């Protein structure tokens, strides 16, 4: 925890000294465009199996949100495929019903970021939003405990790692709320039901 705090402070101090924005390397000289992926083909860590991308919505899509946009964090197959044999994951898999979704990734969580480049919230979205499936709260948390990023986007990788470390308790609550919500619904193929997009959300204050 102490290491994560120091890494986070040093990252933002370095950006401030250089007069740079956390996401500036993604946008280049162009203004960010709503719905566009940054980077275009996602940021991958081929060694660890994690990947992410940043994008923003139109303000009316998420009224009241204090974010400029958010990071979607995923894990590739090699980190989760063996875990699907457990009874917990088989039960969770049943939520997908007959949905046909991308089998190669699992969505872990979203990190909402404000216009200054500071993470302000954590939230989860339904599977139809990202086109893949999700893992149970317990398995997701175990995988996040192994998070290590080296995608060539050093500052952003560091901020994602530090947020996941510092907000471990908030993430556990977030994922448990998501699972309770999903299992409380009677809708078949709940993961493909477009009536349910945002499943759980928590504000975060990294200064605290």
What kind and span of H or E run contains 120? strand 119-125
The whole-model pTM stands at 0.88
Nearest-CA neighbor of 101 among 16, 190, 161? 190
Q: Look at the chain and report how many structural domains it folds into.
A: 1
pLDDT tens per residue, range 7-43: 999 999 999 999 999 999 998 877 777 778 899 889 9
The pLDDT, as a whole number, for residue 151 is: 96
**Is 134 in contact with 106 (CB distance < 8 Å)?**
yes
Average pLDDT, the chain: 86
Which residues are 132's β-sheet partners?
102
Count of H-run helices and E-run strands, the chain = 7, 7
Q: Indicate the pairing of strand 102-113 with strand 132-133.
A: parallel
Name which residue leads in pLDDT, 79 or 169.
169
How far is CA 109 from each of CA 20, 32, 87, 100, 199, rounded to the nearest angstrom?
26, 22, 23, 21, 11
- Number of Cβ within 10 Å of residue 35's Cβ equals 10
Q: Is residue 37 part of a domain?
A: yes
pLDDT tens per residue, range 137-188: 999 999 999 999 999 999 999 999 999 999 999 999 999 999 999 999 877 7
Window from 14-18, 120-124, 131-135, 145-149 with minimum mean pLDDT = 131-135
Q: Is residue 208 part of a domain?
A: no
Query: SS in 3 state form for 147-175?
Result: CCCCCCCHHHHHHHHHHHHHCHHHHHHHH
Q: Residue 124: is its pLDDT beyond 90?
A: yes
């Amino acid at each position: 925890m102490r290491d994560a705090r120091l890494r986070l402070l040093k990252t933002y101090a370095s950006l401030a000294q250089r007069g740079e924005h956390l996401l500036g390397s993604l946008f280049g000289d162009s203004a960010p465009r709503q719905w566009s992926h940054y980077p275009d083909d996602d940021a991958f860590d081929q060694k660890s199996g994690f990947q992410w991308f940043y994008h923003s919505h139109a303000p009316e899509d998420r009224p009241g949100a204090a974010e400029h946009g958010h990071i979607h964090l995923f894990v590739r197959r090699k980190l989760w495929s063996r875990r699907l044999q457990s009874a917990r994951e088989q039960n969770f898999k049943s939520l997908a019903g007959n949905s046909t979704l991308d089998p190669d990734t699992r969505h872990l969580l979203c990190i909402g970021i404000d216009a200054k480049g500071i993470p302000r919230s954590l939230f989860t979205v339904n599977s139809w939003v990202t086109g893949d499936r999700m893992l149970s709260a317990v398995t997701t948390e175990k995988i996040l405990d192994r998070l290590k990023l080296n995608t060539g986007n050093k500052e952003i990788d560091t901020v994602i790692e530090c947020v996941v470390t510092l907000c471990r308790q908030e993430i556990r609550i977030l994922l448990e709320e998501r699972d309770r919500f999903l299992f409380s619904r009677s809708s078949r193929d709940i993961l493909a039901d477009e009536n349910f997009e945002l499943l759980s959300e928590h504000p975060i204050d990294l200064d605290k």
